[in-house]
Amino acid sequence: MNRQIILDTETTGLDRKSGHRIIEIGCVEIINRKYTGNEFHVYLNPERDSDPGALEVHGLTTEFLSDKPKFEEIYEDFISFVKDSELLIHNAEFDIGFLNHEIKLMSKKLNTVDKHVSAITDTLQIAREKHPGQRNSLDALVNRYEVGGYDRELHGALLDSKILGDVYLAMTGGQSTLDFTTQNEDLEQKNQITSSNDTDLNLKVVNLTKEEDQLHLDYLERMKEETGTIPVWFSKDL
């Protein structure tokens, strides 16, 4: 069983070393690449105000958070929910840094989050590897993978976790199915295709003109200059 937890947080500001705190945690469970419906969601009283910039992002006022539990009150429930799972987080260093900071404020003897889970995967790093040189914020990925169905004016930890879950599944191959009949039929068709003789296909070979070939090379040169990487086409091994 592959149990993954999509996790996101909202905070009072960007720098935990300046005393900023977590104000919301949202988690969504996926098992074997399918949503289970299990979620963990909590608002927290940070005992301080949010920076104006952060407040514009999440909209969670000091008044709204004043009667919410403190982190130490939900700590055990949170650890119980994520225990032994693989955490999937966009820009994991930020969220894990804040979570570990909250834990250490309780007691320096307590284990950090990474000691309770099987792995921590940064979806931002996955996106950067798949789309080098492009914007890979959650909003950018939502547009790139055409993830829809969410009414999102402000950021929220649970909502962003659900959106990130959809993005992650799309980015890594989609939600799995357990239809073995379909899989066997697909495999049988694939075997039939690969066993065919090339002569049976009667494919027509179309050669590029010199002008078309030069246009292609010019395009690859521009790609090389813009991305700073050498296109595979230029590899000596090809």
22-31 and 3-11 strand pairing:
antiparallel
Q: How far is CA 169 from the centre of its chain?
A: 9
Given 20, 58, 101, 155, which residue is catalytic?
155
The secondary structure of 160-203 as a DSSP string is: HHHHHHHHHHHHTT------HHHHHHHHHHHHHHHTS-HHHH-P
Q: Which long-range contacts (CB under 8 A, 24 or more apart) does 34-38 make?
A: 34/175, 34/176, 35/165, 35/175
155 as an active site residue: the answer is yes
**Which residues does the annotation mark as catalytic?**
155
